[in-house]
Amino acid sequence: MFQTIIIADDSATARMFVKRCLEIAGYDSTTLLEACDGREALELAGTRQADLLITDLNMPVMDGKSLLKRVKSSPKLVGLEVLVISSLSSPAKEAELKELGALAVLSKPITPAKLMDVLPQTIKPEKTTWG
Amino acid sequence: MSENVELLERSLLRALSHTMEEIAFEQVEKIADSERIDVFNGKLLNPESGYFTDSPGTDSGSGENEKFWAELGLKAPLSGIIVVEVSKGYASALCKVLYGMGMENPHDDMIRDSMAELLNTIGGCFMKELIPPEQEYEWGFPVTGKGRYETLDEPILETYCDINGDILKMTIVGKDISDYRVDHPSIQEGEL
């Protein structure tokens, strides 16, 4: 399960909506960080120990595809998974982004169920007793 | 309305319906009640003159000065504009749903951002209906505003929908879109 997630989208509404979906999907105790474009997300990724980056594609300054390329080519960010959520995704675009290293590509509108399908199970294992 | 524009409308309504169901759990129904539409557009029938006159601030904030709109410019493979327009009351309610807010009133910037995100999502669904899966598409960033939406070009389509008693208007502008051959199987066979 991811401990720190960066959400990159130029829309505050979209960032808030993804946060709410993540919380409903079980990521309610995860640290959620926000970035309003690719450059800001990259700076956050470089300074915080994030393990998942959720990004939109159509953003000013640095778009999601450029961000994905930068993350996947950076030796410092080897463990950082990238999930793309966008209105601009098509099967052709999805294949291209997965080729570049995206964990998954989801189309808007996003729902908690869609997130749960692609993110690791968030249900905590039952407590076991030893001896 | 030409057959092709009818198919465009069907596609747009399917995109709107899917978006509203997923993000706000709301049903969308196309409306044809001209009186409601006139009220939404800030017009009221003057019983004495028999003419429609401008009437801002009617029907729970649906007057022309109490509306929010968002516009999205399509670039490729077809160019044009799609617009969504709602009353301030509905825009505010939608914003609260998207932000998960309580009773406090969102400020205009939040409402405009919500409108942009709504149109972005509708736009994506609309393009998926129109464009073959192997083809990519491109658009700009949404522009939002408050008040009456105005365009220099004649719209090729204006359609009105009922969402739990509120009216949402969608407009398509651009000859390129009206000329676009709509032959995606899901549109030909689908029904709203």
Residues in B closer than 8 angstroms to A92, CB to CB, are: 133-136
Flag whether pLDDT at A128 surpasses 70: no
Arithmetic mean of pLDDT, A89-93: 84
Which amino acid does the sequence have at B41?
N
CB A127 within 8 A of CB B148: no
The pLDDT score that the predictor gives to residue B178 is 75
Q: What is the CATH number of domain B3-183?
A: 3.40.1550.10
Residues in B closer than 8 angstroms to A16, CB to CB, are: 98-100
**How far is residue A38's CA from residue A57's CA, in Å, rounded to a whole number?**
9
CATH class of A4-116: alpha beta
Backbone angles phi, psi at A74, to 5 degrees: -95, 120
3-state secondary structure chain B: CCHHHHHHHHHHHHHHHHHHHHHHCCCCEECCCHHHHHHHCCEEECCCCCCEEECCCCCCCCCHHHEEEEEEEEEECCCEEEEEEEEHHHHHHHHHHHHCCCCCCCCHHHHHHHHHHHHHHHHHHHHHHHCCCCCCCEECCCEEEECCCCCCCCEEEEEEEEECCEEEEEEEECHHHHHCCCCCHHHHHCCC
**How far is residue B86's CA from residue A11's CA, in Å, rounded to a whole number?**
19
Burial letters for B111-145: b for 16+ Cβ neighbours within 10 Å, e otherwise? bbbbbbbbbbbbbbbbbbbbbeeeebbebeebebb
| CA of residue A71 relative to chain centroid, distance | 12
Work out the angle at residue B114's Cα, subtended by the Cα atoms of residues B110 and B119, and round it to the nearest 5 degrees: 150
Arithmetic mean of pLDDT, B30-38: 84
| Residue of B170, B182, B172, B108 whose CA lies nearest to B145 | B108
The residues near A21 (Cβ < 8 Å, ≥ 6 apart) are A110, A111, A112, A114, A115
**How far is residue A107's CA from residue A114's CA, in Å, rounded to a whole number?**
9
Structure-derived torsion over alpha carbons of residues B145, B147, B153, B156, reported in degrees to the nearest 10: 90
Smallest Cβ distance to A90: which of B18, B98, B133?
B133
Q: What's the pLDDT band for B185 if we cut at 50, 70, 90?
A: low
Structure-derived torsion over alpha carbons of residues A71, A115, B91, B124, reported in degrees to the nearest 10: 70
Of A88-92, B23-27, B129-133, B174-178, give the range with the top mean pLDDT. B23-27
Distance (Å) of CA A21 to CA A49, B42, B96, B119, B156: 22, 37, 15, 19, 36
Q: What's the pLDDT band for B44 if we cut at 50, 70, 90?
A: low
Nearest CA in chain B to A108: B121
Of A49-63, A87-101, B127-141, give the range with the top mean pLDDT. A49-63
Smallest Cβ distance to A90: which of B98, B137, B141?
B137
Please, which residues bridge with residue B54 across strands? Answer: B43
DSSP-based three-state secondary structure for A20: helix
Arithmetic mean of pLDDT, B32-41: 82
Flag whether pLDDT at B62 surpasses 60: no
Task: Name the residue ranges covered by the structural domains of chain B.
Answer: 3-183
Q: Do A12 and B22 touch (CB under 8 A)?
A: no
Q: What's the pLDDT band for B132 if we cut at 50, 70, 90?
A: confident
Write down the mean pLDDT value for chain B. 83
| Residue of B19, B2, B170 whose CA lies nearest to B86 | B170
Q: Chain B: nearest CA to A40, how far in angstroms? A: 19
A9-48: per-residue pLDDT in tens? 999 999 999 999 999 888 888 999 999 999 999 999 999 9
Smallest Cβ distance to B124: which of A10, A17, A108?
A108
**How far is residue A86's CA from residue A88's CA, in Å, rounded to a whole number?**
5
Task: Name the residue ranges covered by the structural domains of chain A.
Answer: 4-116
Label the pairing between strands B67-76 and B143-146.
antiparallel
Q: Do B114 and A13 touch (CB under 8 A)?
A: yes
Please indicate if any CB of chain B lies within 8 Å of the CB of A89. Answer: yes
Q: Backbone dihedral region of A97: left (phi > 0), alpha (psi from -120 to 50 degrees) or beta?
A: alpha
Arithmetic mean of pLDDT, B42-66: 54
Q: Do B113 and A11 touch (CB under 8 A)?
A: yes
Q: What's the pLDDT band for B71 if we cut at 50, 70, 90?
A: very high
